[in-house]
Amino acid sequence: MSMFSLSGKSAVVTGAGSGIGKAIAVAFAKQGAQVAVFDLNVDAAKAVAQEIAQAGGKAEPYACDVTDAKQTEAAFEAVCAKHQRLDILVNNAGIAHVGSVLTTSEEDLDRIYRVNVKGVANCLKVGIAKMVAQGGGVVLNMCSVAALMGVGDRFAYSMSKGAVLSMTYSVAQDYLKKNIRCNALCPGRIHTPFVDGFIKKNYPDRVEEMFEKLSKTQPIGRMGTPEETAAAAVFLCSDEASFITGCAYPVDGGTMYLR
């Protein structure tokens, strides 16, 4: 058997319609997992599932608003009814926000909380219950280096990712004896559609300049790719990582320790 195989495992990846979530779903399918592609945008979920199927993998799309506890539970129930188990849960669904404490509105704060904190908690509640009942599983929460260090103008976003990290530690501790591992993946700046959109919106006349500037904020000299992040997710969710739990795992081009 090849290393990092996910063959025969049932995996849920939230926010898998684009960006890092899509890359994780694709990578999991390549390693043999049956992937449930969760996304608020069902058309995006269908497109990813179709892409995986065309490449010879196994995936199914599910419309899921993780901020809605009942809808989230129904989506998980549908997955488990089809596959009888849930081996891997990747809590990737999330949104970004730029602003300091003085420029972040109450509405902004509530929106970030609903998706990045409550959304993760909703999925954990249902997913952990399934894993306890079946005798184990693996959880990977998408966090950020923003939970581990100061990042300018990321007040609400950093708050939410700090909460994700705390939830990771809590779940890892509470369910250690239930054969459930829980880790957090902490990317640095990854080149996703959000980054491109942010630069075009805020620096329309300096796109190339700002892309290069943001790339070089990481010691390695460039942004990461969704596929590089997905490779780390494959490892942490594989049996080869069976001795790793309660870990904040950076994929950040040296940002945390080499600045």
19-67 pLDDT tens trace: 999 999 999 999 999 999 999 999 999 999 999 999 999 999 999 999 9
Distance (Å, rounded) from C-alpha 179 to C-alpha 194? 36
99 with 149, same domain?
yes
Kindly state whether residue 257 falls inside one of the protein's structural domains. no
Distance (Å, rounded) from C-alpha 52 to C-alpha 60? 9
Kindly state whether residue 5 falls inside one of the protein's structural domains. no
Kindly state whether residue 258 falls inside one of the protein's structural domains. no
Kindly state whether residue 179 falls inside one of the protein's structural domains. yes
Q: Is the pLDDT of residue 161 over 90?
A: yes
- Cβ–Cβ contacts within 10 Å for residue 222, how many? 13
Kindly state whether residue 259 falls inside one of the protein's structural domains. no
60 with 130, same domain?
yes
247 membership: H or E segment, kind and range: none
How many domains does the chain fold into? 2
Q: Give the mean model confidence (pLDDT) for residues 97-123.
A: 97
The set of residues, in sequence order, having a beta carbon less than 8 Å from that of 207 and lying 6+ positions away, is 199, 200
pLDDT at 198: 84
| pLDDT grade for 194, boundaries at 50, 70 and 90 | confident
24 with 90, same domain?
yes
**Active site positions, annotated:** 157
Q: Give the mean model confidence (pLDDT) for residues 138-145.
A: 98
Distance (Å, rounded) from C-alpha 68 to C-alpha 48? 22
| Residue 132 burial (C-beta neighbours within 10 Å; 0-12, 13-18, 19+) | middle
Which is nearest to 65 in space by CA: 88, 42, 48?
42
202 with 146, same domain?
no
181 with 194, same domain?
no
Name the one residue in this structure whose structure tokens are 């300096």. Answer: 206
Q: Is the pLDDT of residue 136 over 80?
A: yes
Give, rounded to a whole angstrom, the gap between the first and last alpha carbons of the chain.
39
The residue range of the domain holding 122 is 10-188+225-251
201 with 110, same domain?
no
pLDDT at 1: 55
pLDDT at 193: 85
Kindly state whether residue 2 falls inside one of the protein's structural domains. no
Kindly state whether residue 1 falls inside one of the protein's structural domains. no
78 with 64, same domain?
yes
Kindly state whether residue 237 falls inside one of the protein's structural domains. yes
133 with 164, same domain?
yes
Distance (Å, rounded) from C-alpha 115 to C-alpha 186? 17
| Residue 145 burial (C-beta neighbours within 10 Å; 0-12, 13-18, 19+) | buried
109 with 211, same domain?
no
Q: Is the pLDDT of residue 89 over 80?
A: yes
Residue 83 sits in a domain of what CATH number?
A: 3.40.50.720
Average pLDDT across the chain, whole number: 96
61 with 85, same domain?
yes
76 with 154, same domain?
yes
Q: How is residue 11 annotated by DSSP?
A: E
96 with 130, same domain?
yes
